[in-house]
Amino acid sequence: MAEQAKFQKMLEILLMLDCKYGRTIQEISERFEVSQRTVYRYFDTFKQVGFVIENKNRFFKIDKEESSAKDISQLLHFTEEEAFILGKAIHTIEDGSKLKDKLAKKLYSLYDFDRVIHAISKKEETDNIFNLMQAIKQQKQVVLKEYKSGHGKNIRDRLVEPIDFTINYMGIWCYDTEDKSNKIFKTARIKEVVITNTYWEYKPKHHKGITDIFRMQSFEPIAIQLKLSMLAYNLLIEENPLSEKYIKKIDDNTYLLTTDVGNLIGVGRFVLGLPGEIEIIYPKAFKKYLNDKISKLKF
């Protein structure tokens, strides 16, 4: 096995051990197609660099209280926002610097690395997201077992072609083979993900919508432009770092945000929370939306 591939596999196993319930040697061996003896060798390597591997009834996991690194997933995972902030910092280094190139390569290799995020604490959700990742790689259809609809009134299996995840793996863009349409399925509402032997049949019809800077999703983006005060600008980039890519400075006290949003809910909450600090340039429909919301306020 090439050294790079071996290192990646070890990192994947290490991330797999960063879980609540633990993993069996057989489970790890089968998932990564290595011998059980090799898994034990990897465990020895992890211990040598400061990780304590806890064994409860042959279920192994990282003991965060005893290990030198308290949360390996936090060390190896970057959200899109974190990657953007780190990337921006790296690119302030003078061009042509070997250090800059090295840091950039490390960042992007970790950002694109297949990993299950630390925010997921339930073993079932972790397994489901891993299976969805594998199905996307293999371009296979999956069955979302006992998927709960929005209000939990409709619980049934759904045969879909997974396309891509939303922010922090909270949802998955899929092509629904029954409805013949693209939509988001919430990962927390899936009981189990079963990868079928059937390859994608509808790839030309795959389409994922946008996730805007306020974390709203849609297939029909709405173009907006807002004039922000310094206070509004500072709060926006603090709460939503990705928004900085869409902001132009007019002067020391005025900034212009030009972007697309999935709907008016997220941006509406932001504007209503800062009265007098934001001017709506367009669209007119946004002004009407806010006026309707204000008229319903109870004092």
Stretch among 166-175, 189-198, 222-231 having the lowest mean pLDDT: 166-175
154: alpha, beta or left? (left if phi > 0; alpha if psi -120 to 50): beta
On the CB side of 9, CA atoms within 13 Å amount to 19
Cα-Cα-Cα-Cα dihedral sign, residues 45, 46, 51, 56: negative
Residues 6+ apart with CB under 8 A from 257: 224, 225, 226, 227, 228, 236, 243, 246, 247
H or E element in which residue 33 lies: none
Taking 50 as the threshold, does the pLDDT of residue 119 lie above it? Answer: no
pTM: 0.54
By the 10 Å C-beta count (0-12 exposed, 13-18 middle, 19+ buried), 203 is classed as: exposed
pLDDT for residue 87:
63
Domain boundaries, the chain: 3-74, 78-111, 123-206, 217-295
Q: What is the mean pLDDT of residues 184-211?
A: 92
CATH T-level fold of 3-74: Arc Repressor Mutant, subunit A (1.10.10)
Provide the CATH number for the domain formed by 123-206 in this structure.
2.30.30.40
Q: Give the model confidence (pLDDT) of 61-115 as tens digits.
A: 887 665 554 455 455 555 566 666 666 666 666 555 566 656 655 555 554 444 4
CB contact at 8 A, 274 and 235? yes
Three-class DSSP category at 7 = helix
pLDDT for residue 268:
95
Taking 50 as the threshold, does the pLDDT of residue 251 lie above it? Answer: yes
Summary mean pLDDT of the chain: 82
Q: What is the DSSP string of 247-299?
A: EEEEETTEEEEEEEES-HHHHHHHHHTSTTSEEEEE-HHHHHHHHHHHHT---
When pLDDT is cut at 50, 70 and 90, the band that residue 147 belongs to is: very high
